[in-house]
Amino acid sequence: MSDVAKAFSVSTDDVAHFMRKNNLARRSLKDAQFMQFNSRKRSFTCKPNTRENQEIKAIGSMLYWGEGYKGSVKRPANRVDFANSDPSMIRIFLEFLRQTYELSESKFRMLLYCYSNQDVVNLIDYWSSVTDIPKAQFTKPFVRSDFKITGNTMPYGLVHIRYNDKKLLLEIKSLIDCYKAKYCAGGRVVNCNWL
């Protein structure tokens, strides 16, 4: 309504009155949010699909399928969030993102999860060097003190790689769906020419 009011140089009350008078339905909140989301510019672009990036696309999307947060009905996901304690897996997932998409590196955030008997500063230094993400982009670490000392501790802690763009999450989930349809549907032909 505010866009219409601005276009016609009238107040939003005038627009609301006109709509009521002419029995014009207003958008639902869900419709308005959908329109607003779709009009928002993406913070990334897809790089050209080449033979060289086919393998990393498959690997990265499968890693996200297994280890990434995809959301649920009660807690929908609104960003890419990949968590793991294996430095090689973290490197490969970032390689997937950086080779497949032109990203805004400033949108990356890292969350370190570790135990109170570990050196947080050294762990942040370590993960910053592994990921090439500046330490300034690490959020406040989650340090757990209520743990049992067993032989199963994570020597480097666990990190979440987060990229704050829901449209990138939807892009990755779409890629996962294409691979699932291609390989889990009994050879059924699917429209995923961009794989």
Kindly give the confidence (pLDDT) of every residue in the chain, 195 residues in length, as a single tens digit, with 9 standing for 90 and above.
787 888 889 888 888 888 888 887 777 766 665 556 556 677 788 888 888 888 999 999 999 999 999 988 888 888 999 999 999 999 999 999 999 999 999 999 999 999 888 899 999 999 999 999 999 999 999 998 876 666 667 889 999 999 999 999 999 999 999 888 888 766 554 556 555
pLDDT score at 186: 60
How high is the pLDDT of residue 20?
83
- The parent domain of residue 25 ranges over 2-39
Distance CA(131)–CA(20), nearest Å, equals 55
Query: Quick one: pLDDT at residue 131?
Result: 97
99 is a domain residue:
yes
Q: Which of 135, 129, 57 is nearest to 92 (CA)?
A: 57
The answer on 101 and 140 residing in a single domain is yes
Same domain membership, residue 94 and residue 26: no
Residue 191: predicted pLDDT: 58
Q: Which pTM value belongs to this model? A: 0.76
pLDDT of 39: 61
One domain for residues 18 and 108: no
**pLDDT for position 22:** 85
Within a domain: 194: no
Q: What does the pLDDT read at residue 113?
A: 94
Residues 56 and 12 in one domain: no
| Residue 164: closest CA among 98, 91, 93, 109 | 109
Token output for 125? 């230094």
Pair 51, 14 in one domain: no
Same domain flag for 111 and 167: yes
Whether 52 is in a domain gets the answer yes
Q: Does residue 190 lie in a domain region?
A: no
Domain shared by 19 and 100, yes or no: no
**Within a domain: 192:** no
Are 31 and 55 in the same domain? no
The count of structural domains within the chain is 2
Q: Is residue 191 part of a domain?
A: no
- My answer on whether 24 and 94 are in the same domain is no
Please indicate, yes or no, if residue 20 is contained in any of the structural domains.
Answer: yes
First to last CA, the chain: 41
- Position 83 scores a pLDDT of 96
Residue 172 domain-assigned (yes or no): yes
Q: Are residues 27 and 88 in the same domain?
A: no
